[in-house]
Amino acid sequence: MSETDLEKEGDIAADFLEELLNIADLDGDIDIDVDGNRASVAIVGGDNSHLVGSDGETLDALQELTRLAVYRETGERSRIMLDIDGFRVERRKAAADAANVAIAAVNTSGEPTHLAPMNAFERKVVHDLVAAAGLASGSEGAGADRHVVISRGSGDDAE
């Protein structure tokens, strides 16, 4: 997808989210960015913690609604990423910190390390860092218990 297409996705998403904020009488500014091959939109300012919800569940739902709004306008499936008040940025950092500690433990002990359960976004962050460190990772468990296992072996598959 071209950068122009991604910018268009961001604009459509921003329009949808602005309308949603207006209907709900909520404050917040919309920031649009293109990061690599993905558009990202962030709602910043105001007190929007209730839009994040418990462990980001409401944020995930809003992201899906935003993707549907983009699809409705473009006819193309969107991978747009929505963040609210830096929640995903903080979760990405926490996942990266946990991954780096586990990578060091695996390098020291040689034993596989199981991380705490994470959502798909956080697991992807971990898998990418583990691959860059030359180790292997795979996801185990189901639902809310799905987590990453990091090892020296190369037989595991990242999700």
Q: For 114-137, what is the mean pLDDT?
A: 95
Q: Return the CATH number at 48.
A: 3.30.300.20
116 in the same domain as 79 = no
106 in the same domain as 79 = no
72 in the same domain as 15 = yes
- The number of domains in the chain is 2
Q: Please give the pLDDT value at position 158.
A: 44
Looking at 38, 69, 85, the residue that finishes a domain is 85
Closest CA to 79 of 44, 48, 120, 118: 120
108 in the same domain as 95 = yes
Would residue 22 count as lying in a domain? yes
127 in the same domain as 76 = no
Distance set, CA 15 to CA 11, 24, 45 (Å): 6, 14, 17
Q: For 112-124, what is the mean pLDDT?
A: 94
Q: What is the spatial distance between Cα 148 and Cα 151, in angstroms, rounded to a whole number? A: 10
Residue numbers of the domain that contains 54: 3-85
Does 49 have pLDDT greater than 90?
no
Does 83 have pLDDT greater than 80?
yes
Looking at 85, 116, 142, the residue that finishes a domain is 85
**What are the backbone dihedrals phi and psi of residue 147, each rounded to the nearest 5 degrees, phi first?**
-145, 170
Would residue 19 count as lying in a domain? yes
Cβ–Cβ under 8 Å, residues 139 and 122: no
Q: Give me 65's structure tokens.
A: 């609604």
Looking at 30, 60, 85, the residue that finishes a domain is 85
Q: How confident is the model at residue 154 (pLDDT cuts 50, 70, 90)?
A: low
Does 37 have pLDDT greater than 50?
yes
7 in the same domain as 22 = yes
Per the model's pLDDT, the better-predicted residue between 144 and 125 turns out to be: 125
Per the model's pLDDT, the better-predicted residue between 4 and 113 turns out to be: 113
44 in the same domain as 32 = yes
Q: Return the CATH number at 124.
A: 3.30.1370.50
pTM value is: 0.81
